[in-house]
Amino acid sequence: MEHIMLKIIMIIIALDVFALGVLLIFILNARSNIKRKILETRFNIKVLDISDKSESSEEAARELRITPEEFITHCKVRHFPTPEQRLKIAEENKRAEKEAQRKIEEEEAAWKTEQVQIIEERRILKEKENHERRERLKKFGYR
């Protein structure tokens, strides 16, 4: 009986050691995955930073020491704007801002013109009323 209990305890210990080994492998794998993710994130941040500062994909690829095709592919896969796309978007934004500013200025000019017309119409109407009032006063002999 003692022999059977000893075998059962040895099997349990072996299973525990095996489970600890599997746990150790999972921990080491997680550690390597985390290191890989950190390096990948650092590289992505570097790509974004260089892409923001560069004027062309070739210049950015040269700074990253990769080919322009690899840089463009990386940007497409990660949905990062290439320097050309960024500059194009910035130009479109500037154009849209200028267009909006021009529309606002046109609306203001139209409003000012309308206000000037309204003021002129009021002035003419007031002059007409004053003239009629003077005529009535003359009619009754007050002037």
- CB of 109 closer than 8 Å to CB of 101: no
| pLDDT tens-digit readout, 83-132 | 999 999 999 999 999 999 999 999 999 999 999 999 999 999 999 999 99
In this structure, what token pair is assigned to residue 55?
């004027």
| pLDDT tens-digit readout, 6-25 | 999 999 999 999 999 999 99
Q: What angle do CA 75, 58, 49 make, to 5 degrees?
A: 50
- CB of 63 closer than 8 Å to CB of 57: no
Distance separating alpha carbons of residues 82 and 48, to the nearest angstrom: 9
pLDDT exceeds cutoff 80 at 142? no
Check residue 34 and give its pLDDT: 97
- The full DSSP string for 5-23 is HHHHHHHHHHHHHHHHHHH
- Nearest residue to 56 (alpha-carbon basis) of 71, 42, 45: 71
